[in-house]
Amino acid sequence: MIARYSKVDLLCLDEFGYLNLDKKGAKLLFQIFTEREECKATAVATNSPFAEWDKTFGDPRLFAAIADRITFRCTLIQTGTESYRFRITEAERRG
């Protein structure tokens, strides 16, 4: 599994942090990020504030290591906290 996700040119993770990972899953994700570091692109989309990601991993040290891997030489794009889907639904109701 690590080799499979390490080879793709762009790995996209959506709804990151929505579900908590058990220790085995968090370690696997760490290994994937480590393999991809500085050689492959990874996009992460989340509604969870970065400060709450430690809850996703359950282990503060493991979270710190993962955060270190995915934020090294990264571009952070914050779009706000308003739901795009909700905004579109409201606009359709009004319009």
Fold of 2-94: Rossmann fold (3.40.50)
For 43-53, the pLDDT digits (tens) are 998 888 777 88
Q: How confident is the model at residue 32 (pLDDT cuts 50, 70, 90)?
A: very high
CA distances from 63 to 33, 38, 74 (A): 12, 19, 17
Where along the chain do its domains lie?
Answer: 2-94
Rounded to an integer, the average pLDDT of 68-90 is 85
CA distances from 19 to 2, 15, 38, 45, 91 (A): 20, 8, 26, 13, 29
Q: What is the pLDDT of residue 28?
A: 92
Rounded to an integer, the average pLDDT of 26-31 is 92
Q: What is the DSSP letter of 66?
A: H
Rounded to an integer, the average pLDDT of 41-70 is 86
By three-state DSSP, how is residue 40 classified? Answer: coil
Q: What is the pLDDT of residue 35?
A: 92
